[in-house]
A = this chain, B = another copy of it.
Amino acid sequence: MSADETKAVVLLSGGLDSATVLAMAASQGFSCYALSFNYNQRSVSELNAAKKIAHLARQHKILDIDLSAFGGSALTDADIAVPTDEPEGIPITYVPARNTVFLSLALAWAEVLDAHDIFIGVNAVDYSGYPDCRPQFIQAFEQMANLATKAGVEGQKITIHTPLIDLTKAQIISAGVALDVDYAATVSCYQADEKGAACGVCDSCRIRQQGFAAAGVVDPTRYQR
């Protein structure tokens, strides 16, 4: 790598948040290595969206990891229906330890790349009640990462960047529009069809719709109905 290249691993789901994070990391001058996962999620169109958005990255890897082997979530277990009503507590769409697993794999790639920066689009405002989207989780992960790795042992600092953590969905969308993020290419829906059209009724669709409305931005999402 060139002397002035600073590498970062960016977790890229293909949704609105991670697309914005990738644009932010690139705009800050990081050379971005985007990482997506094929974890037998219901919505494969999310991965197709990730491929479209990844042009801002220097490299894009899609890693296969079969989280459905463990079951336990509506997003990976075909026997559990995606709910359409307002959830209370931790919803059934929560995938057990998902961000822990994804950040761990980002850390593995960062270590190989000799990168010390990892970006993730977690959000503590519209976070759907997932425990692994909270700031205290991210801080604990960063602390662990610095003890887990060669970089940490050698006194370098690994940083987990969460540029969206305190933003509302509307603020995320406004920031992304300013960075020319193509939101029409992103997929947020938990049960989008093969062409990436959204259901419009799941928790994730509702949060996204409200975000565009609050930002005063025309919603470019394609809906199934």
Contacts and interface: CB of A to CB of B under 8 A. Distances in A.
A108 to B, nearest CB: 4
Contacts of A150: 90, 94, 96, 131
Contacts of A143: 140, 143-144
> Residue among A100, A112, A140 with the most chain B CB within 10 A?
A100
A97 interface: yes
Interface residues of A, number: 43
Interface in A135-178: 136-137, 140-141, 143-145, 147-150, 152-153
Contacts of A153: 90, 131
Interface of A: 61, 63-67, 69-72, 90, 94-101, 103-105, 107-109, 111-112, 131-132, 134, 136-137, 140-141, 143-145, 147-150, 152-153
Given A71-B112, A132-B148, 8 more contacts: A63-B69, A67-B108, A90-B153, A96-B112, A96-B149, A100-B108, A140-B144, A141-B144
